[in-house]
Amino acid sequence: VVVALNYYTPYQHISDSNTGKVSRYAWGDDYHHVLGDKLRSLLAWIQEQSPDATSKVCVDIQPAMDKAWAVRAGLGWLGKHSNVITPEFGSWVFIGELLLNIELDYDVDEIEDHCGTCTLCIEACPTNAITEPYIVDSNKCISYGTIELRDHELPNEMANNLSGWFYGCDICQDVCPWNRFQQVTNEDRFRPREGNVDTNLDEVLQLTSQTYAERYRGSAMKRAKLFGLQRNARALTSDKL
């Protein structure tokens, strides 16, 4: 069973030299917990109907090909920016799965690719990370670099082209025409936490291990760890000198 959960909230970034932009997905509570809770509730309902059912709950961190399964399940198609685009919510969705031990009736119709000749996401990327349609070079991707990269400094080409992004990057999604049809999520836990739409860079640089743990408890932004967040803040502040 594959699900997609809308996380869009209608807030905009501010233009402020003292702050860095945060990717929309990390504004609220950690999606691993939110979507995981919903999948476990779904599993409980399935087990009421079929008591012998067991399942593995998958939300991003398990070795499951989330995007491939979402396309196979007919939830959307793979956009040229490599994110799954749904007709209802655009690409502002989290994907999760239940790996069940029982047979279910299932959908067989996939949604055709509706990107057409559009190349806005490719053209908008400041680091040219989308090297060709559907292919992203993670070594150039701001989102990967500011979240997953464990080096103590960002690559120079990336650091010089962050476009104000402190954690993650939404540029390729912001320009996507299919995201003009976005709907506001009804999940309150995705509402922005204070300081998570635009983060004060000086405050990040002053964090200690203890204040970091308190500040980002229950947030997906802990993924970058303290040294990663401070590295990103340094890159943005040095860019403004």
Distances (CA, A) of 123 to 80, 81, 115: 11, 11, 14
Residue type, 198: D
Pairing mode of beta strands 77-78, 84-85: antiparallel
Of 83, 68, 112, nearest to 179 by C-alpha is: 83
Count of alpha carbons within 13 Å of 88, Cβ hemisphere only? 9
60: annotated active-site residue: yes
Which residues share a beta bridge with 85? 77
Range list of H helices, the chain: 31-49, 66-72, 120-124, 142-147, 156-159, 171-174, 201-205, 209-215, 225-239
Under the phi-then-psi rule, with left for phi > 0, alpha for psi from -120 to 50, and beta for the rest, what region is 163?
left
Q: Residues 29, 37, 52, 60: which is the catalytic one?
A: 60
Of 74, 89, 84, 79, nearest to 1 by C-alpha is: 74
Of 29, 41, 130, 33, nearest to 78 by C-alpha is: 130
Query: Alpha-carbon distance 237 to 43, whole Å?
Result: 46
Residues with a catalytic annotation lie at 60
